[in-house]
Amino acid sequence: MAILRILTIPDPALKNPAKTVGSIGPDTAEIIRDLIETMRHHTRCVGLAAPQAGISLAIVVVDVSLYPRKFNNHGQLVLINPKITETIGNIMGREGCLSVPDLTANVSRFEKITVEAMDENFNKIKINTSGFEAVVLQHEIDHLSGLLFLDRVTSLKTDVFRRKP
């Protein structure tokens, strides 16, 4: 296992859509392990998408269960080829990202979502979630389309903030 190097803006690779994963093999399993280890390595990191590590595959890992404020959640998730299939409501919240290390921003997201994906064993799964976990999943799934949270900001002037050291 390894701690992967995180790409940061303005790296153009962050804007490229990820490739669909066709099957799970030893290389894919290693990538998943490395993504989890990298996520755990970064303090307060609750999610990571493969493209953030320069890996153009539709894989995200998420775990909000260790976040200082406990929320309802599904624990550690590995999602391959995830798609958001249902959305309800809207919430506004402050987001940050390892790929945008110096900034945070107010971002509008769906309050409740349903995600369909494959798990690490390539079994179909369906997750219904809300609140913080839903926001994190939307953030990470955006990375698979080449979107950063800054692309979702209404006003760069009033909604983007320098991260406090």
- Is 140 labeled as catalytic in the residue annotation? yes
Sorted by sequence, the CB contacts under 8 Å of residue 65 that are 6+ apart come out as: 73, 75, 76
Rounded CA-CA distance 79/21 in Å is: 11
In the set 95, 120, 133, 140, the catalytic residue is: 140
pLDDT digits (tens, 9 = 90+) for 129-141: 999 999 999 999 9
pLDDT digits (tens, 9 = 90+) for 58-95: 999 999 997 777 678 999 999 999 999 999 999 999 99
Sorted by sequence, the CB contacts under 8 Å of residue 26 that are 6+ apart come out as: none
**Rounded mean pLDDT, 105-114:** 97
Question: Which CATH fold topology does 12-162 show?
Answer: Peptide Deformylase (3.90.45)
